[in-house]
Chains A and B, each alone.
Chain A
Amino acid sequence: MAVASKEITRIMATDCGSTTTKAILIEKKDGEFRLIRRGEAPTTVEAPAEDVTKGVLNAVGEIEDLEGRKFLKADEDGVQVSPDSTDGVDIYMSTSSAGGGLQMTVAGVVKSMTGESAQRAALGAGAIVMDIVASNDGRLPHEKVADIRRLRPDMILLSGGIDGGTIDHVIELAEVIKAADPKPRFGVGYKLPVIYAGNKNARELVKEELGEQVELKVVDNLRPVLERENLGPARDTIHELFMEHVMAQAPGYPRLMKWAGHYVDGEWKQVPIMPTPGAVGKLIEAVAEKENIEVMGVDIGGATTDVFSVFSSGEETVFNRTVSANLGMSYSVSNVFVSAGYDNVMRWVPFHMDEADLRNRIRNKMIRPTTIPQLLKELIVEQAIAREALRLALVQHKDLATGLKGVAQERTIGDAFEQTQTGATLVNMMTLDLLIGSGGVLSHAPRRSQAALMVIDAFLPEGITMLAVDSIFMMPQLGVLSEVLPEAATEVFDKDCLIRLGTCIAPAGVNKKATVLAEVTLTKQDGSSIDIEMELGKMHVEPLGVGEKVNAVIKPAKNLDVGNGPSNEWIGELEGGVVGLIFDGRGRPFVLPKDDAQRIEKLQEWSKALDIYPERFMDLEGGE
């Protein structure tokens, strides 16, 4: 897929989100690819436009205005991609999550084994998994049939049985799908795409069962043996079918698909439109691999929140993506409120508000999802909701990002007292190296320190963790770019996309007597040093700019851990960022004071320590 980058020097990329369409212009100048401009406009899948390309034209139009150059064709029928570098750009590409993204139902024999592997394959490809049908899911066959019919997925992934394993159960699942005779959401006249990625010995029988009724694609088993997943082929086929079958039915997409592409030796070549989360995942994986670190990324959008992670599991590194389909900041904002509860949202707000008033405000955001907070008070409430959406999304991610279940474990006598289960979560906040936040509420937070405190409060990183945000929310575009021009994607990611907020230092563990969680000595490059006591319940920021480093010696109190094991000293280098070094002495597990006055006092204290809001926020009260 990759092409020689010398051919391409000007790139236009868009991401059609459920709320906003974002366009970026990247150009190669003085030998390096850099972000030149960005533009955005509301996504136009909604009436009156009902055509996604309108939003694309508006977003690219904004770049034209700001840049004073033409990038659209004269008749506004697409982005001007020229074969000879004379005008417009050399390549145009796009990602999309508008129109509800890709909605899938997956099926596997055992829910926690092949069912979960199928779920991971679908999620990794950027889908929203609406239902997992399994032989042991507790539903009667006719209930499964009814559920498939009701949900009307865009696509079904059928797996089940390791190679050489059960055939009967796989056929039973195929039968359920056949009986359901599901019709796709869009387009009456086409067959529903079904991917079979299960026991290879059942392929012919599955074809017999489903071949005529659905658009069946057969790929390699995604769980050929219990001990190993092989999700790649299923994921690639999901991408392919998403383009061919699902996108082609959505309003305006056939046109957008024609626009995306470039000239190779004078011949027009289309660049496939990728589901937004699939593209972000590609980028996160590339970063983890390049730096050899554990990375977690979170993208909080209008409708959904995606969490991506790369963690070690034994010798391997494992990529996982989860999507919390109904946790988001606009379309799904009411659902965050419903899922987390009023009290959980309000615990992050340092003033009181009338519940009825707050409920109406949140509903109004839901029905008019493109609005933004004009008042500081509204911003604070929105950031409180974001904390809860992020927290809940992480809970869901931990549940799915696990080791393979059902795998036989070898135990020695030493393990006799340590009964670990298979399928424990791979998410380890202590070993995590880099936490990247993305999505409007984080990327567009008026102060970067707000984004830092939001991710710290929601994810509660432990030990030493670098925090970063996607500066202008361009990871999706860079993800799709990484497929065509990996060099340009990583260059722009390093220089223009990722903004390092700073390192968070957070001792974890229980020591009820400790009032000082850790003693820290920082030695700067000029030889000067600073001593810091991390007091219980306090936060402190030590300024240290982007790219600046200090040598640190951190001595945690007894039983507390900063990354080297309980009670063990940590020695190493800490890197700064736009916020600085953030010393979080609030403890892990973190608990907010129950008393309301104390809670508000603490919130105000931490907000001041990180300078996240202007001074006047101390005087804010509920109401208008």
Chain B
Amino acid sequence: MAFAYTPGLRVADCTLVRKERRLPLAGETLVNAGDSVTADTIVAKTHLPGNVKMLNIANVMGLPPGDIPELLFVKEGDSIEENQTLGQTKGFFGLFKNTVKSPIEGTFESYNKITGQAVLREPPVPVAIDAYLLGTVTEILENEGVIVEAYATFVQGIFGVGGETRGELKVLTDGPEDELTEDLIDESCRGKVLLGGSFVSYTTLNKAIRTGVKAIIVGGFDDKDLKEFLGYELGVAITGHEKKGITLVLTEGFGRMTMASETFQLLKSREGLLASVNGATQIRAGVMRPEVVIPLEGTETEKSSDKSAGAMDIGSPVRCIRAPYFGKLGTVEALPAELQVLDSEAKVRVLDVKFDNGEIVTVPRANVELIEE
């Protein structure tokens, strides 16, 4: 095998980023192909069906379900007000009438003659989606959304918390190995996306939230801090819906981890530009990694290697992603085809990695990831 496949995270100087901005349900698009948009431009909107309230009218009226329809004042599809009388029994000689009132404002959706249940629906909930990126609308997905494209610096993280946000990028640490400490955060950080180095603690994160920071991009974070931050133990890695007032993107992993210098330097060179950040991570089913996208206005060419995704060869830059070399960067020195025995006695396919200091070590192929571009 000339190359090995290994999943890697993208770190691109300038690449064409294509974002699908899709509504959860069919709706209407508000822009045209070719339009320039800012991150805040609303590109499509729709209405989600309102919540449902089930009301057993037959029970309330104390009559068999089949007798109800003729006693109803509303028909299916009618709009209804809260406390509006939906139906009434005939009573005895016009007395002792039983009435049914609507508990909600909305629509009288249906009545079932067998169960006696009526389905009442609350008014639709408006939903709008923005462009997320500063860029151009290149395609309209009829009734569903749009595609927005921009040439941008693109960095994928390994894990994140919190949804889409944006702000001006501000660099807070001197280097990728420095911790983003509490004292570095001041009023000038309000509304910004902060670039830290190796680590951020829960205390610092809290100060950032209090200061109105939009997002933090950092190498590592402690799992025990994650528990405190979320308020619960995260079982399965599906994030993005947290409403914590900040978005956190980890580029390396859990623990104190020096950010890959390439990532740090690249982001540092973009200080002052508007960064769109999304912490949503879904490692299973659908697979999504957090991202930082920094559109580069006026750029219309890609600056990236033409290496196909996932192809690893001699000389490819890689990052070790498991102990005992976790976080170390190097290049592929050899890709032996035969299986080798590890310290754990497992017999697996391996590769030799040469670190910057010249040291060459053997690691399982599964324990490195390709640093693309």
| B285 within 8 Å of A (CB atoms) | yes
**Contact mask for chain B residues 37-52; partner A; CB cutoff 8 A; 1 contact, 0 none:** 0000000000001011
Cβ contacts under 8 Å, B347 to chain A: 446
**Contact mask for chain A residues 180-204; partner B; CB cutoff 8 A; 1 contact, 0 none:** 1101010010000000000000000
| A424 within 8 Å of B (CB atoms) | no
Tell whether, in the assembled complex, residue B235 and residue A374 are in contact, meaning their CB atoms are under 8 Å apart. no
| A408 within 8 Å of B (CB atoms) | no
Cβ contacts under 8 Å, A332 to chain B: 235-236, 284
Nearest neighbor of A181 in chain B, beta-carbon distance: B49
Q: Once the chains are docked, how many angstroms separate the CA of A51 from the CA of B54?
A: 43
Tell whether, in the assembled complex, residue A205 and residue B322 are in contact, meaning their CB atoms are under 8 Å apart. no
| A466 within 8 Å of B (CB atoms) | no
| A373 within 8 Å of B (CB atoms) | yes
| A80 within 8 Å of B (CB atoms) | no
Q: Once the chains are docked, how many angstroms separate the CA of A364 from the CA of B237?
A: 11
**Contact mask for chain B residues 7-23; partner A; CB cutoff 8 A; 1 contact, 0 none:** 11010000000000010
| A175 within 8 Å of B (CB atoms) | yes
Nearest neighbor of B342 in chain A, beta-carbon distance: A374
| A353 within 8 Å of B (CB atoms) | no
Q: Once the chains are docked, how many angstroms separate the CA of A357 from the CA of B254?
A: 9
| A361 within 8 Å of B (CB atoms) | yes
- Give the contacts of B264-307 with A (CB-CB under 8 A): 281, 283-289
Q: A179-B54, A180-B52 are in contact. Are A378 and B283 (CB under 8 A)?
A: no
Q: Which of A167, A181, A367 contacts B253 (CB 8 A)?
A: A367
Tell whether, in the assembled complex, residue A373 and residue B253 are in contact, meaning their CB atoms are under 8 Å apart. no
Please tell me which stretch of B175-183, B184-192, B201-209, B360-368 contacts chain A, meaning at least 4 of its Cβ atoms lie within 8 angstroms of it. B360-368
Tell whether, in the assembled complex, residue B322 and residue A371 are in contact, meaning their CB atoms are under 8 Å apart. yes
Q: Once the chains are docked, how many angstroms separate the CA of A493 from the CA of B133?
A: 54
| A469 within 8 Å of B (CB atoms) | no
Cβ contacts under 8 Å, B115 to chain A: 168, 171-172, 175
Q: A372-B364, A372-B366 are in contact. Are A367 and B114 (CB under 8 A)?
A: no
Nearest neighbor of B109 in chain A, beta-carbon distance: A179
**Contact mask for chain A residues 341-383; partner B; CB cutoff 8 A; 1 contact, 0 none:** 0000000000000011101111111111111111110110000
Q: Once the chains are docked, how many angstroms separate the CA of A126 from the CA of B299?
A: 49
| B63 within 8 Å of A (CB atoms) | no
Q: Which of B112, B287, B345 contacts A46 (CB 8 A)?
A: B287
- The range of chain B's interface size is 35 or more
Tell whether, in the assembled complex, residue A376 and residue B343 are in contact, meaning their CB atoms are under 8 Å apart. yes
Q: Which of B235, B281, B286, B369 contacts A326 (CB 8 A)?
A: B235
| A447 within 8 Å of B (CB atoms) | yes
Tell whether, in the assembled complex, residue A367 and residue B323 are in contact, meaning their CB atoms are under 8 Å apart. no
Q: Once the chains are docked, how many angstroms separate the CA of A168 from the CA of B58?
A: 13
Tell whether, in the assembled complex, residue A100 and residue B285 are in contact, meaning their CB atoms are under 8 Å apart. yes
Tell whether, in the assembled complex, residue A338 and residue B222 are in contact, meaning their CB atoms are under 8 Å apart. no
Q: A100-B286, A168-B115 are in contact. Are A356 and B346 (CB under 8 A)?
A: no
| B352 within 8 Å of A (CB atoms) | no
- Give the contacts of B209-254 with A (CB-CB under 8 A): 222-224, 226, 233-237, 253-254
Q: Once the chains are docked, how many angstroms separate the CA of A28 from the CA of B287?
A: 39
Most chain A CB within a 10 A radius of its CB, from B234, B286, B337, B367: B286
Cβ contacts under 8 Å, B112 to chain A: 171-172, 175, 209
Q: Tell me the smallest distance from the CB of B225 to a CB of chain A, in Å.
A: 9
Q: Once the chains are docked, how many angstroms separate the CA of A440 from the CA of B221?
A: 29
Please tell me which stretch of A58-66, A522-530, A544-552 contacts chain B, meaning at least 4 of its Cβ atoms lie within 8 angstroms of it. A58-66
- Give the contacts of B75-97 with A (CB-CB under 8 A): none
Cβ contacts under 8 Å, B7 to chain A: 42, 44, 46, 48-49, 370
- Give the contacts of B297-324 with A (CB-CB under 8 A): 309-310, 321-324
Nearest neighbor of A172 in chain B, beta-carbon distance: B115
Q: Tell me the smallest distance from the CB of A578 to a CB of chain B, in Å.
A: 15
Q: Tell me the smallest distance from the CB of B35 to a CB of chain A, in Å.
A: 23
Tell whether, in the assembled complex, residue B159 and residue A188 are in contact, meaning their CB atoms are under 8 Å apart. no
Cβ contacts under 8 Å, B10 to chain A: 47-48
Q: Tell me the smallest distance from the CB of B237 to a CB of chain A, in Å.
A: 5
Tell whether, in the assembled complex, residue B51 and residue A142 are in contact, meaning their CB atoms are under 8 Å apart. yes
- The range of chain A's interface size is 35 or more
| A414 within 8 Å of B (CB atoms) | no
Tell whether, in the assembled complex, residue B254 and residue A378 are in contact, meaning their CB atoms are under 8 Å apart. no
Q: A18-B284, A172-B117, A374-B344 are in contact. Are A48 and B310 (CB under 8 A)?
A: yes
| B326 within 8 Å of A (CB atoms) | yes
Q: A338-B233, A363-B253, A374-B364 are in contact. Are A54 and B5 (CB under 8 A)?
A: yes
Q: Tell me the smallest distance from the CB of B362 to a CB of chain A, in Å.
A: 9
Cβ contacts under 8 Å, A62 to chain B: 1
Q: A58-B5, A172-B115, A366-B283 are in contact. Are A48 and B309 (CB under 8 A)?
A: yes
Cβ contacts under 8 Å, B367 to chain A: 371-372, 374
Q: A374-B324, A376-B345, A614-B345 are in contact. Are A368 and B51 (CB under 8 A)?
A: no
Q: Tell me the smallest distance from the CB of A436 to a CB of chain B, in Å.
A: 21
Q: Tell me the smallest distance from the CB of A204 to a CB of chain B, in Å.
A: 11
Q: Tell me the smallest distance from the CB of A249 to a CB of chain B, in Å.
A: 11
Cβ contacts under 8 Å, A49 to chain B: 7, 309-310
Cβ contacts under 8 Å, A188 to chain B: 22, 25-26, 144
| B255 within 8 Å of A (CB atoms) | yes
| B119 within 8 Å of A (CB atoms) | yes
Q: Which of A50, A61, A368 contacts B322 (CB 8 A)?
A: A368
| A444 within 8 Å of B (CB atoms) | yes
Tell whether, in the assembled complex, residue B346 and residue A368 are in contact, meaning their CB atoms are under 8 Å apart. no
Most chain A CB within a 10 A radius of its CB, from B159, B288, B344: B344
Q: Tell me the smallest distance from the CB of B18 to a CB of chain A, in Å.
A: 12
| B53 within 8 Å of A (CB atoms) | yes
Tell whether, in the assembled complex, residue A339 and residue B346 are in contact, meaning their CB atoms are under 8 Å apart. no
Q: Once the chains are docked, how many angstroms separate the CA of A517 from the CA of B18?
A: 68
Cβ contacts under 8 Å, B288 to chain A: 47
Q: Once the chains are docked, how many angstroms separate the CA of A335 from the CA of B24?
A: 29
Q: Tell me the smallest distance from the CB of A331 to a CB of chain B, in Å.
A: 4
Cβ contacts under 8 Å, A44 to chain B: 5, 7, 310
Q: A364-B255, A367-B254 are in contact. Are A446 and B344 (CB under 8 A)?
A: yes
- Give the contacts of A158-184 with B (CB-CB under 8 A): 167-168, 171-172, 175-176, 178-181, 183
Q: Tell me the smallest distance from the CB of B243 to a CB of chain A, in Å.
A: 16
- Give the contacts of A97-126 with B (CB-CB under 8 A): 99-101
Nearest neighbor of B116 in chain A, beta-carbon distance: A168
Nearest neighbor of B225 in chain A, beta-carbon distance: A356
Q: Tell me the smallest distance from the CB of A233 to a CB of chain B, in Å.
A: 25
Q: A100-B285, A372-B346 are in contact. Are A41 and B5 (CB under 8 A)?
A: yes
Tell whether, in the assembled complex, residue B253 and residue A364 are in contact, meaning their CB atoms are under 8 Å apart. yes
Tell whether, in the assembled complex, residue A331 and residue B344 are in contact, meaning their CB atoms are under 8 Å apart. no
Cβ contacts under 8 Å, B36 to chain A: none
| B6 within 8 Å of A (CB atoms) | yes
Tell whether, in the assembled complex, residue B119 and residue A179 are in contact, meaning their CB atoms are under 8 Å apart. yes
Tell whether, in the assembled complex, residue A334 and residue B5 are in contact, meaning their CB atoms are under 8 Å apart. no
| B31 within 8 Å of A (CB atoms) | no
Tell whether, in the assembled complex, residue A372 and residue B322 are in contact, meaning their CB atoms are under 8 Å apart. yes
| A145 within 8 Å of B (CB atoms) | yes
Nearest neighbor of A45 in chain B, beta-carbon distance: B287
| A141 within 8 Å of B (CB atoms) | yes
| A624 within 8 Å of B (CB atoms) | yes
| A303 within 8 Å of B (CB atoms) | yes
Tell whether, in the assembled complex, residue A363 and residue B254 are in contact, meaning their CB atoms are under 8 Å apart. yes
Q: Tell me the smallest distance from the CB of A302 to a CB of chain B, in Å.
A: 8
Of the A-B pairs whose beta carbons lie under 8 Å apart in the complex, a sample of 21, sorted by A's number, is A47-B288, A49-B7, A49-B310, A54-B310, A140-B54, A145-B51, A175-B54, A178-B110, A209-B112, A331-B284, A332-B284, A339-B235, A360-B253, A365-B322, A366-B237, A367-B158, A369-B283, A372-B322, A374-B343, A374-B363, A378-B322
Instruction: Tell me the B residues contacting A by CB distance below 8 Å.
Output: 1, 5-8, 10, 22, 24-26, 49, 51-54, 109-110, 112, 114-115, 117, 119, 121, 144, 156, 158-159, 222-224, 226, 233-237, 253-255, 281, 283-289, 309-310, 321-324, 326, 337, 342-348, 363-364, 366-367, 369, 372
Q: Contacts A370-B7, A376-B345 given; 11 further ones with Cβ under 8 A?
A: A175-B110, A179-B52, A185-B286, A205-B114, A360-B223, A367-B158, A371-B322, A372-B322, A374-B367, A375-B344, A376-B343
